[in-house]
Structures are given as structure tokens and as C-alpha cells.
Amino acid sequence: MTDTKKSIHGEWSSRFAFILAATGSAVGLGNIWKFPYIAGENGGGAFVIVYLLCVVLIGIPIMMAETLLGRRSRQNPINTMKALAEEAGADKNWHYLGWMGVIAGFLILSYYSVIAGWASAYVFKDFTGSFFDADASEIKGLFDSFIASPVQLIFWHSLFMLATMVVVARGVNSGIEKAVRFLMPSLFVMLVLLVAYAMTTGSYDEGIEFLFMPDFSKLTGDSVLTAMGHAFFTLSLGMGAIMIYGSYLPKDVSISKTVFLIAGTDTVVALLAGIAIFPIVFASGQEPSAGPGLIFQTLPIAFGSMTGGWLFGLLFFVMLVFAALSSSISLIEPAVAWLVENKDMNRKQACIWSGSVTWLLGFGTIFSFNVWSEFKVFDRTIFQLLDYLTANLMLPIGGFCIAVFAGWIMTQQHTEQELNMPSPRNYQAWKILICYVAPAAVFLVFLNVIGVL
Ligand code: TRP
């Protein structure tokens, strides 16, 4: 592998462009929609601490590993695993890891797009004044009747998938970079303003206490797994998204600094969302464990009652849709890059193929909330099953394998050269995390869930 090698899809114009794109991938529905609702379902504080520990001890080292793998090979995740396994003289079966990632991306995007569709619909609902002066039960009624309608959900899901396909078809430099550039800062500011609103609800302390006061008796093996799975999900790890973005990263950029920045931003955004939402949950007499509808049942109350709430709500949901879009493009990019590199398609054809498959798969999630809501496998609806299978199983397994590959299969010389850390001490710390801490932690959590521990 030569130092001058570049991806055939092009390269980020700068380190900043990579940071924007990778942060765009990381920050999304996972932070604003999923984190608050799973924290609510799993009892709050203790869950949040486990999640934070997983980000630091497992997520950050694996994010560095994924980035360095991609940058070293400059290809899609499947070819990356093949090429790097060859370079290290290892088994060629490693490329199945790339395959699992591509499949996980499809499965995640199939439900991600449905939820992003909800956010898009809420832009429209805000616009038409649906939240104006509405109380908690009206807002909940609005949400319940919305998800009961397959036709509406299909419409918004289709629209969002189409938007994803159009952006991805335009390619790394023109499409992805531009889409992300102005979104992140705006979303951040809006969240800070929402936190300020939460302070006026009278239940701010209660919300903070729920989110940060750990009660470890509320932790179960499954909630620990969910917290760990979410660390992977929220950082976009374990399926090759960060790997493919790393493959467009110029050689001279410091991977470690960049990764710290991305993971830090992602975590702050999730915590801000939690701090904004739980006070509203308590002030309006709702349950933290309301499930996937949580933000749709709480935030509109704020928008309906605060001055300027109409415009604010409108902007907020628009930002949320864009945050979801900058994540969804990273879910489909590994598949698109593979189709382009290996199947001789152009980007447009590749987007149409992979987008259509995901779009169809999305119907499973749509029907989980209405016509098939009683259809359960392992006591879960299709949506819950997809979520569990991807976030709790495939991503941690993928991450585990990436850690083992970067720590044990690749030569020290190669990883050291890619990471190019300022001091050997930092490299050693990463090495310990990636060789021992991260894989062992994932392994122990799995053992715990299957009841061996
Ligand atoms: N991280 C995104 C979020 O929090 C979702 C996402 C984008 C993702 N790309 C991914 C999750 C790759 C897992 C793997 O909303």
C-alpha cells in the first residue's frame, strides 16, 4: 500500500470536511430520538453511566481503528478487509466482516428512514399549527393517530429515502460534504435553547436527577447490552461507515485528535437532548419509558406553548431531518461504494439499487406500528427485532472483530504508522484498549446476557 493511494471516489477537501461528515454521521436520530427514549426505558442515570463508559473504553478506540483501516486501504469495507488481511498474511475470511457491515447498514437504514420520516412529518405538522396551545394528551393523540396510518408513514419514509438516494448519488465531495456543512452548528444552538426552555418548566431538577443520578439496581443484563449497543450505534461504529469515511481521509490528518472531537461532540449532543427532554416529560406528567414516541410526545408541547414556538419547532424538526440525512448517507455509502468498485455500476445506479432494497425493507418497520403491531417474533415487533439485531448484536460483534483485527492481526508497524501519535505512550494506551479492554468488555456483556456470567 503506497502513501499516495487515493480512493477512486475522491477525497475530503480537508480535515474539517472529514470531521463534518463523520460528525454528521454520528450525530443523528441516535442522539436526539433514540438516546432519550432508551435512557427512559432503562431507568436513567445508571444506564447513562454505562453508556458513557462504553463510549470512552470501547467506542473511541474502535473508532480510531475503523478510521485507520479505511484510510490504509482506501476502498469499501469489504475490499478493505480483504486487502488488509492479505497484507497481514491473515485468513481471507475477514472480508465477511465487511459483508456483515453492509447488511447491517441496510437493516438499520430501513428503520432509520421510517423514523426520519416521522421527523419530516413533524416539520409539516408544526407548520400547519398542530401543536399550538395543545396539551400533553392532545400531542400524544396526534402522535398515536399518525403512526396508526401506514399510508402517512409510507409517504414520509419514501420521501426521506428519496432524499438520501439523491444526496448519495451526487458523491462524496459535492453531495455529502455540502449537506453537512451548515447543519451541525445550527442543531447545536437549537438544543441549547431547548435546554433553556426546559429550565423554565419547573421540573428541571427532576429531569436532571433522572438522567444523572444512578440507581444501579435498575440495571439488567439487557440494559447493559443496550447501553453498549447504543455506544456503537451513536458513533456509527461496527459496520464500516466510519471505515468508508476514513478511506476518503487525507494521509496527514491526525486520527486520534479527530476521533476525540467527533466522539465528544456526539456525546454532548445526546446529553443535551436528554437534558432538554426529561424536564418536559416530568412537567407534562408523562412516563420516561414512553418508548420510540418520546420526543414526538414531549417536544411539541414545548413548541406549542413557548413564544415563537411555531418557528422554533419548525427549525428544530428541519434540523433533525438534516441530522438524520447526514447519518443515513453513511449507512448506505458502504454498499454504494462496493457496487461502484466491484460491480461496475455508476453511483446513480448503485444508489437506485441499494435505496430501493432499503425502501422495501422499511415496510416491516412501518407496519410494526399499526397493522402488524401484534405480530411478534421473540416477543418483539419487526422494528424492535431489527433494532435489537443490529444495534445490540451486529454492531458490537462487528466492533469486536474490528478491534481484534486492528489489535492482533495488523502489524504494530502499520497501525503505528497510520495513527502517527505524538507520543509512544498514547499509542500504547490505544493498543491496550484495542487489544484487551474493548474486546473483553464486549465479550463479557454478551456472556452476561446469555446468562453465563
Ligand atoms: N450514528 C447515527 C445516529 O446516531 C446513526 C448511524 C449512521 C449509524 N451511520 C451508522 C449507526 C452506522 C450504526 C452504524 O443517529
Each residue's pLDDT, cut to its tens digit, for the chain (453 residues) gives: 444 567 777 677 777 878 888 898 999 999 999 999 999 999 999 999 999 999 999 999 999 999 999 999 988 889 999 999 999 999 989 999 989 999 999 999 999 999 999 999 999 999 999 999 899 999 999 999 999 999 999 999 999 999 999 988 887 566 556 667 777 788 888 899 999 999 998 999 999 999 999 999 999 999 999 999 999 999 999 999 999 889 888 888 899 999 999 999 999 999 999 999 999 999 988 999 999 999 999 999 989 988 888 998 998 899 899 899 989 999 998 889 889 888 889 999 999 999 999 999 999 999 999 999 999 999 999 999 999 999 999 999 999 999 999 999 999 999 999 999 988 999 999 999 999 999 999 999 999 888 776
What pLDDT shows up at residue 21? 84
What pLDDT shows up at residue 18? 82
What pLDDT shows up at residue 253? 86
Atom of ligand 1 nearest to the CA of 390: 13
What pLDDT shows up at residue 2? 42
Q: How far is the CA of 298 from the centre of ligand 1 (A)?
A: 23
Rounded to an integer, what distance in angstroms lies between the CA atom of residue 25 and that of residue 276?
Answer: 22
For cell 408513514, the residue is: 153
Pocket test for ligand 1, best of 187, 228, 330 (most atoms within 8 A of CB): 330
Query: DSSP labels for 185-252?
Result: HHHHHHHHHHHHHHHTSS-HHHHHHHHHS--GGG--HHHHHHHHHHHHHHTT-SSSHHHHHHTTS-TT
Pocket of ligand 1 (CB under 6 A): 25-26, 28-31, 108, 233-234, 236, 239, 241, 327, 330-331, 395
Closest CA to 299 of 194, 229, 172, 412: 194
**How long, in residues, is the chain?**
453
**Residue pair 164/332 in contact by the 8 Å Cβ criterion:** yes
Atom of ligand 1 nearest to the CA of 241: 12
Domain parsing of the chain, residue ranges: 15-449
Atom of ligand 1 nearest to the CA of 331: 9
Atom of ligand 1 nearest to the CA of 330: 9
Rounded to an integer, what distance in angstroms lies between the CA atom of residue 32 and that of residue 165?
Answer: 23
Q: How far is the CA of 305 from the centre of ligand 1 (A)?
A: 32
Rounded to an integer, what distance in angstroms lies between the CA atom of residue 143 and that of residue 118?
Answer: 9
Q: How far is the CA of 326 from the centre of ligand 1 (A)?
A: 9
At residue 113, the 3 state secondary structure works out as: helix
Q: pTM value?
A: 0.94
Distance spanning both ends of the chain, measured CA to CA: 43
Q: How far is the CA of 215 from the centre of ligand 1 (A)?
A: 28
Identify the CATH number of the domain defined by range 15-449: 1.20.1740
